[in-house]
Structure formats: structure tokens, C-alpha cells
Structure 1
Amino acid sequence: MASSTFEIGLSGLLASQQGLATTGHNIANVNTPGYSRQRVTMETREPQFVGYGFTGKGVDVQAVERIANQFLVDQLRNSTANEARAAKLSELVDQIDAQVGDALVAGGVQNFFESMGDANDDPRLMATRQVLLESAKSMVSRIAEQEEQFNLLSRSVNQQIGGSVQKINALTGALAALNIDIARGAGLASGEPANDLLDKRDQLLNDLSQLVGVQTQQRADGMVNVLVGDGQLVVTGGTATALQPTVNPLDASRMEVGLVVGGTLTQVSETLGGGELGALLDFRDANLIPARNAIGRMAATLAMTLNAQHRQGMDLDGAPGGDLFSIPPPDVNALGSNSGSISLAFDPATVGDLTTSDYRLTHDGTNFTLTRLSDLSMQTLSGAGPFTVDGLTITVTAPPAAGDQYLLQPTKFVPRQMSVAINDARKLALASPVATASATTNLGSGAITRPQVLDATDPALLNPVQLVFNDPPTTYQVNGAGPLIPYTAGADIDLNGWRVQVTGTPLAGDSFTVSSNAGGMGDNSNGLSLSAMQFQPLMSGGTATYQEAYGVLVGEVGAAAQQARISRDALGALTENAQAARDALSGVNLDEEAANLLRYQQAFQAAARVISAADAVFQSLIEAARG
């Protein structure tokens, strides 16, 4: 009986000792990230049959159980990935918001047109002409400075993508090694899990979710497979497959993420969502590229439309106006394996239709397909071309073949390479090459407007033309001869590359002259036309002025920044709730552990007294036997 009592006491002593050790382990890890509290599960030993019935044999420790719920763990992991993405996206969009909102570009455009107005006050003054020229250079410099800020941000995004990939690879390597340790531990413990290793693995998965969205697959051997994106395996049991930062084959400035699948490096950037890496990739495509292209679109449209008007004017020396600004052609990036080739140009007639998107052009052996990357809208281009789309002209310069692919970046490099095309303020074409006049003998109330030059290259542009009104003055003739032309007050009269309107009520014999403006140094007709372009809807398909289009960019970026902040705060609250739910179940409660400590200590002491009592009985039996 003493022996049986001794064994019972010893079993209780050992069970209480394990309870004390487990409680102490919980207390020691109260501040360990990802730690799940543990508890001892005890089981009564099988009873022993004696003549009068069954008698107990004590207690066994069945297991040290890890208190965790996989649903709560997965919920926290997903919330962490979403919050990390939102926080990173908010940080990045705030940078663009600060850049476009500081009036760097808008202020430069406004100063340019104000200087144009000053020069128009007296086009003969070299001082105001020089200020206008310097304002043009300042505007171009500001546009280039804005582009450089975007370029630096783009480089930073590339560096952060590479850094995130390195961190992901380090974590997946650690997860694969931990998988092996967990499987080995389960084998040594007859299938019982290694609790602390499971916590460590969950914490690594949580760390990984801060970088990229993660899914897991539980295996029978205790290992987990880890997937990112839309199902790319990066950990298979004890083997990790590294992500690789790669350069986009069509854009060397664009960092992509690849994964070796079946011996082939496959680009997976578009499938990666969640976490900081997902935010970086999303920000680049949804925010940075459109904002960068918006500046380029404004620069290209402004340069081409102002150039077109400036060429209609006459400079201070009586020479025709030339281009005011110089811009590069739209950029084309061809796949190295292409058979054909194309060229890309801005279409002067539809330059106002330029968008803020890049494009992908592919050939299937029969037709081209143009995909606008901002909204993935597709357009089939059949035939040999040229093709005019969204303010661009695509010209096929060498026969295409199936599989040919191009990346079109129409406005990306315009701000960086834009320049003022003239250096002499005398070359500013503020005057019109033709002038209008009313005969001093006119008796009616008719008046002729300043001429608008439509085609400065028309060989008859400077030929003198007289519009003579007949009797009755409901018709007029050109140079007093030819067909009778019906008169409508204010209607356009287009001849020899110019346009005028006659208003009012001319009388019979009244005449108006359009002729060369040679010597018209004080004329500001073309300067006024240039100034008026500030308020003309020349962008966004004829719906916005230069500054309105820029204002749309500022508004869109501001709205995106606001939305990103709202998402960051909301998802942060969800993560806090998910963490609280997980901690309520798995976290260490020091009050509870203190109570457990006292309970196991008392049980330990009681079991020790059982052993002491058994020993006393045993000693009494020995003494009785000796007597």
C-alpha cells in the first residue's frame, strides 16, 4: 500500500511540477510577440483492480496544449497584410500630394501667361520681351523639376521593391527551415506539436504578411505550404522558392518581381497584393505613372498648341514665327525579339485628346491590338496604318509579325527633355504677319476684326486683299471682282491662309483691306491669341484648359491621399480588433497565471506530503518487520 501511495504522490508531484513549469513559461513569455499561452492537460491513470474493487493509481500529464484558434490567427494575418498595404500606400500617395500641391508647375504656367500679357502691352519693348522669354524658361524648368521629383520617387519605389523581395526571401527561407524543425519535433514527440515552434512560425507568417498577402496550406506532416499572390508557392514543406527582382523587358526603369516556375522565370508582379510590396506595385501603376504622365501630357499639349499659334505670328524683325518650345517625340519601347518596327508621333490636330496612360501594342499576325493600360480598354488596329488614336499617330515602319510587342509611353519623357526653342527675345512672334484696315471713306457701321492666321505657309498669305461691298450691300466681292458673296455679319471669311469677320452694317462702296503687316512692330495680334490660349479648353478632349487639367491632377491625387488615409485608419482599427480577439484567447493573462501558480504550488506541496506519508508508513512497516 505504501508503494501504491508513493507512486500516486509521485505522479501528482510530477504533474504539478509540469504545471508550474508551464505556468512559469507562460509568465516568462508574456511580452513575446506571437506567443500563445500553454496549459497542461492531465488525465487520471487507469485504475488497478483489487479484491474489493478498483483503486486509483494517480495522474498522468496527457499533453501541454497550445491555446490557439486558426481562424483568429488567419484573420489577424489577413488584417495585418491589408493594414500594411494601406499604411504604405498612404505614405506614398502623401508624397505625390505634397509635390503636386505646392504650385510648382501651376505657378510657372501662370507666371508665363502673366509675362505674355505684359509683353503684349507694348511688343516693341525688349525688356518685357526678355522677361517673357525668361518666364518661358522658368516654366520649363519648373516642369522639369516636377518630373525629377517623380523620377526620384520612382527610383525609391524600385529600391523598396527590391528591399521587400529580399525580406520576403529571408522570411520564406526561415519558414522552410522551421517547417523541417516542426516536422522533426512532431516525429520525436509521437505526433505532438512543438508549441513554441508553431508560435514562431505563425509570427514569421505574420511578419511576411506585412510585406505581401499570404495564404497557407496545412500538411499532414505538420508543415505548411506558403503561397503569395494568386497562388504562387514560395514555401513547399522544407523548400523555399525565392522571388527575384527583375527588370521589365519593355521598360528598364520599371522593377518587376519574378518567380521561377518549372525552370522558367515568370513575372508575377500583377498578381501580388497585400502588404507593403503590394502597396508599392499598386502605387506605381495607379498613382505614380498617371501623375507623372499628367505632367507630361500638359507639357506636350502646352508646347504643341503654343507652337502652332506662335508659328502663325511674325517676330520683331518681320520674319515668320517658329516653334517656341522643343519637345521629344513620344517614347516607344520594343521587345527585343520583335520582327517589325513602328514610329510614334503626336498628332497636331488631335493633341488635345492625349491621355495620362501608357499603352501596350501587340500584333497577332493579322492585326495590331492597342491596350490603354490605365483602364485596360482595347482597340483593334487593322491594315497598314498610319493609325491615329488618343492624340497619337502610329506608323508602321517595318512589317510586323505575330508576337511583336511595344510599350508606348507618349508623355513620360516630355518634361525631362522639354526646352525653350528660341534664345533671342526678338524672335518672339507677337505680331500678326497680316493686318486689317477699314477704308477712311467708309460710311456704314461695318468693322473688320483682327486677322487670325490659319496657315502661315500659304504662299498668298501676304497678298493684299480688298473686300468691297456692293449696292445693295448684302453682298461683297474680293478685290471688287469675281462672284458676289452673300454678307452675314460676324461670319468667318477665310482666304489665303487667314480668317477675319466683318460685323455691323456696311454701306455700298465700303471696303476693308487685309494685307501684309510689314513694319508692324507694335502689333500684338498674335500675342493676344497666345494669351487667350490660357483660357481655351485645349486639353482632355476639349473640355479643360491647361491649368484646369492640372487642377484635375491635384484633385485626383488629393482624393487618393484622403482615401488612403481613411483606409489606413479603418484597417488599422480592424487589425487592432483582430489582435485583441487573438490575444483574448491566446494571450497570457498574468492574473490568471498567478492563480495557476498558486494552485500548482499547493498541489505540489500536497503531493509531496503524500510521498512523505507513504514513506512514513513504509518505514513503520520495516521497523515492525525487524521487531
Structure 2
Amino acid sequence: MAGINDIFNIARSGIRANQQGLATTSHNIANINTKGYSRQEVVLESARPAEGKVGSGVRVSAIRQTVDTFLENQLTSLNEDLGSITARNNYLVQADGIFTETDNSGLSLSLTEFFNAVRDVATNPESTIQRTVLLAKGQSLTDQFVTVAQGLNQIRLDTDGEISRHVDTINGLATKIASLNDVIFKVESSGPEAPDLRDQRRVLINDLAGLVDIEQVTLKDGIGINVGGQLLVGGNHANELSTKSDPDNPPLHDVTFVRSDGSEFSISDKIHGGKIGGLLAQRDGDIVTFQDQVDRLAAVLTTEFNQQHQAGYGLDGTTNNNFLSTLTPQAPLANDRNTGSATGSSVAIADPTLATFQGYEVQFSGASSYSVVNTRTGASVTSGAYTSGTPLSFDGLDVVINGTPAAGDVFYVNAQK
């Protein structure tokens, strides 16, 4: 039979339990504007009966978070998409500004004024004034092409710098998440859940997702986070990302994962979300496409106009003269994964009438055989036997590669660059 003390103890347990409930409600209200905070509720259960049958009151069994795991995962995924779209859009707006035409500037205006000057010379070819104006408009058009090219290149450089800054931020977030993993594991190993610490960790994870796409893995000692297929955070340990020079895109950088021995390997091609994913897509995709289009326009204009100009005569009676400086394509660029000793030597435009001014890949299936693929169309252009130093001729180009390639080696050729 319960005595008066048992009755008082039961009342006391009820007061304590409801005090905890009131404290939890106050905590919820106080944190209503706290980023990432999840509402908490007190879970009550009957206290263990005295002597197995006499009621002992009530006790707090847990303080439970109200969290929808599915929605939280969706939010993390949306943060990845938002980060990517936002970063990509910011620089695309800048690129749009480069091509924006005004009443007195722009590539389209320069082209129009140049061809108007050409028409005037054709109408009055003996006029030195018209010829001088044409030369000035030609220089102005050249300057405009250079301005556009420099603007696009600067966007790529600015993007590259921002990627490096985000990598530093990611490393800081990874360290904080690993630290919280450790604290949460220790607290919950000896007591109930730590909902406030879990909220703080979730905020950091969402911040990380805004910078790079992640994969979360539940581990016994916390949350594991993979980036680019590599474990960035595992329990209380955080690895690091870094950047290193990209030999295929100098002076730009690859995003790399740092191994425990300090060595690095690129994971750029495995990052598709977050701000870094958007910046990589913009730097190595969108802007490169714009650059290729501008370069091709300049190359085709130079080649076609020079061919027409060569057919005419100067006031001194000379002919076969170029009006614009001839193109000097860059040497074939080796893929940084090549294992052979071959190097790109030169690219020359042997027959301008056959030049497409598109990109090509010279692919080696062995030390003595190659094939050429048009990277724009995907079409096979030619193939044959390779001899070091002997020009590979296709689409009006003579491409010279020296040395011994290995199977799988690739060289990139772009006559418009």
C-alpha cells in the first residue's frame, strides 16, 4: 500500500516532468529564429512501479526532435542545385555584359563599320582616304575581338579564384563537422540524444552542400560525407580538398582530394553540384563555348577576307597580299593523362579553303597508328600510320607531333586558337 511519502514522490515526479516540458517549450520559443533549429518535445513514460505493482509517477524518457529525414535530405539536395545555379548565373550575367551591344560599341557594330568601309573602298578604290578609313576600321575590329577574348578569359580566371576560396571554406566546414561528430558521439554514448548539437551539424552539412555536391553516410561514430567519391569526413576525422594547376587548362586549377600521405588527385570531373560544380561547368563549359565561337568567327573572317584580298591589287600594282595577319595556331596540346613521350610540335594551315576551324582530337591506338576525330561533330576525320615529326594532314591542316606516343594518348588540335 502506498504511503504518504509515495504520494508526495509521485507528485514531485509529475512536477519535474512538466517543468522539463515547460523548459523545452521555452527553448523552442527562444530558438524560433535560430537557423536550422528543429522543434523539440518531451517524451514521458510511467516510472517503474515500486515493488512491481505500485505506481511511482512519471519520468522524462527522452527529448525528441521533430525532424522529417526525407525533407531534410531534399533540402540538402536543393542546396546543391541552388548553389550551382546561383554561381553559374552570376558569371553568365558577366559574359552577357561582354556581348551587350550599345549604340557606339560592340562586336556587331565593329563588324558593320568594317564592311561599310570595305564597300566604300570597293566603290572608290583609288581614294587614299577610304583606304585609310578601312585600315582604321580593321584595327578597331581587331581590338574589339581582343577585348571580347580578354573579357571571357578574365571571367575564367575570376571563376578559378573563387573555386580556390570555396575549397578553403569546405575544408573549414569539414573540420567543424568532424568535431561535432566527436562531441555528439561522446555525449550520446553516455546519455540521451543531443538535439541542439545535431541541429548545428545539420546546418553545417547544408552549408557544405551549397558549395559542393555531397553524399551522406551514417557511421557508428557520426555522419560520413563523401565528395567526388572520396570520404571527406569520417567520424571525428576530416580530410582535405585542395587545388593544383591543370596542365590541360593553364593557368587554371583542378580541384583535388588530398590523400593521407599528402599526394593529390583530381576530382573535378566528379563534382557536379554546389557552387563549385556550377563554377566548373561555367569555367570549363559555358565560357569555353563562347570563346570557341568568337575564335572561330575571327578565324573564318581572317581566312576568308585574306583570300579575297589576295585576289585584288594594291595601288602599287602588287597582288596576293594579306589584309589581316595570318593565323598562327597553337601547338597540339597533350592530355595530362598521356603516358607516352610524344609532344605537340606545331599546327599549320596548309590550305585555308579546306579549314573548318573546329576542334580535333588526335587519338593514338599505339606507337605507330593514329586517328583524328572532330570534337564538334564526333565524326572520324582520318586515320593512318604515325611517324615522329611527319605532318598529319587533314582538313587543310598540317599537324606535327614528335616522340613516341602510347596507346590511349590524346592530343587536342584547334586551329582557331
TM-score normalised by the chain length of structure 1? 0.60
What's the counterpart of residue 178 of structure 1? 180
Structure 2 unaligned spans of 5+? none
After superposition, residues 292-311 of structure 1 pair within 5 angstroms as 292-311=291-310
Question: Which of 1 and 2 has greater Rg?
Answer: 1
RMSD: 2.5
What's the counterpart of residue 49 of structure 2? 47
2:21 counterpart SS class: helix
What's the counterpart of residue 357 of structure 2? 354
After superposition, residues 473-512 of structure 1 pair within 5 angstroms as none
Kept in 1: contact 2:363–2:408 (CA 8 A): no
Over 3 Å counting, the alpha-carbon distance change for 1:10 and 1:389 in structure 2 is: farther
Q: C-alpha displacement at 1:387, in angstroms?
A: 3.3
Q: C-alpha displacement at 1:261, in angstroms?
A: 4.4
1:253 counterpart SS class: coil
What are the superposed Cα offsets for residues 63-107 of structure 1, whole Å, 9 maximum, x if unpaired? 111111211110110011112212222222222223223272222
Residue 149 (structure 2) pairs with residue 150 (structure 1) = no
Letter in 2 for 1:279: G
What's the counterpart of residue 252 of structure 1? 250
The separation in 2 between residues aligned to 1:6 and 1:61, in whole angstroms, is 18
Q: Which residue, out of 339, 343, 347, partners 1:344? A: 347
Percent of aligned pairs sharing the same letter: 29
Q: C-alpha displacement at 1:170, in angstroms?
A: 1.2
Over 3 Å counting, the alpha-carbon distance change for 1:32 and 1:266 in structure 2 is: same
Residue 90 (structure 2) pairs with residue 91 (structure 1) = yes
What's the counterpart of residue 62 of structure 1? 61
After superposition, residues 401-416 of structure 1 pair within 5 angstroms as 401-402=406-407, 404-412=409-417
Q: C-alpha displacement at 1:262, in angstroms?
A: 6.9
Over 3 Å counting, the alpha-carbon distance change for 1:201 and 1:281 in structure 2 is: same
The separation in 2 between residues aligned to 1:338 and 1:327, in whole angstroms, is 33
The separation in 1 between residues aligned to 2:33 and 2:361, in whole angstroms, is 52
Over 3 Å counting, the alpha-carbon distance change for 1:155 and 1:378 in structure 2 is: farther
Kept in 2: contact 1:363–1:405 (CA 8 A): no
The structure whose RCO (Cα within 8 Å, separation 6+) is larger is: 1
Letter in 2 for 1:303: T
Over 3 Å counting, the alpha-carbon distance change for 1:411 and 1:71 in structure 2 is: same
What's the counterpart of residue 139 of structure 2? 137
What are the superposed Cα offsets for residues 281-315 of structure 1, whole Å, 9 maximum, x if unpaired? 11123210010111111111111222222222221
Over 3 Å counting, the alpha-carbon distance change for 1:262 and 1:241 in structure 2 is: closer
The separation in 1 between residues aligned to 2:291 and 2:219, in whole angstroms, is 47
What's the counterpart of residue 115 of structure 1? 117
Q: C-alpha displacement at 1:376, in angstroms?
A: 6.7
Over 3 Å counting, the alpha-carbon distance change for 1:338 and 1:225 in structure 2 is: same
Q: C-alpha displacement at 1:247, in angstroms?
A: 1.0
Q: C-alpha displacement at 1:270, in angstroms?
A: 1.0
After superposition, residues 136-215 of structure 1 pair within 5 angstroms as 136-189=138-191, 192-215=192-215
Kept in 1: contact 2:125–2:131 (CA 8 A): yes
Kept in 2: contact 1:301–1:351 (CA 8 A): no
Over 3 Å counting, the alpha-carbon distance change for 1:360 and 1:317 in structure 2 is: same
Over 3 Å counting, the alpha-carbon distance change for 1:366 and 1:260 in structure 2 is: farther
Over 3 Å counting, the alpha-carbon distance change for 1:44 and 1:114 in structure 2 is: same
Letter in 1 for 2:266: Q
Kept in 2: contact 1:304–1:348 (CA 8 A): no
Letter in 1 for 2:25: T
Letter in 2 for 1:41: V
The separation in 1 between residues aligned to 2:248 and 2:60, in whole angstroms, is 64
Over 3 Å counting, the alpha-carbon distance change for 1:280 and 1:390 in structure 2 is: farther
1:79 counterpart SS class: helix
After superposition, residues 369-518 of structure 1 pair within 5 angstroms as 370=372, 381-384=383-386, 386-389=391-394, 392-402=397-407, 404-412=409-417
Over 3 Å counting, the alpha-carbon distance change for 1:380 and 1:317 in structure 2 is: closer
Q: C-alpha displacement at 1:347, in angstroms?
A: 4.5
Kindly tell me the number of residue pairs found equivalent between the two proteins.
Answer: 404
TM-score normalised by the chain length of structure 2? 0.89
1:48 counterpart SS class: coil
The separation in 1 between residues aligned to 2:167 and 2:303, in whole angstroms, is 42
What are the superposed Cα offsets for residues 389-408 of structure 1, whole Å, 9 maximum, x if unpaired? 56543233444345655343
Over 3 Å counting, the alpha-carbon distance change for 1:338 and 1:109 in structure 2 is: farther
Kept in 2: contact 1:212–1:274 (CA 8 A): yes
What are the superposed Cα offsets for residues 409-440 of structure 1, whole Å, 9 maximum, x if unpaired? 4333xxxxxxxxxxxxxxxxxxxxxxxxxxxx
The separation in 1 between residues aligned to 2:219 and 2:194, in whole angstroms, is 15
What's the counterpart of residue 291 of structure 1? 290
Q: C-alpha displacement at 1:266, in angstroms?
A: 1.4
Over 3 Å counting, the alpha-carbon distance change for 1:359 and 1:246 in structure 2 is: farther
The separation in 2 between residues aligned to 1:10 and 1:392, in whole angstroms, is 93
Letter in 1 for 2:302: A
Over 3 Å counting, the alpha-carbon distance change for 1:68 and 1:374 in structure 2 is: farther
The separation in 1 between residues aligned to 2:340 and 2:368, in whole angstroms, is 15
The separation in 2 between residues aligned to 1:372 and 1:13, in whole angstroms, is 80
Q: C-alpha displacement at 1:27, in angstroms?
A: 1.0
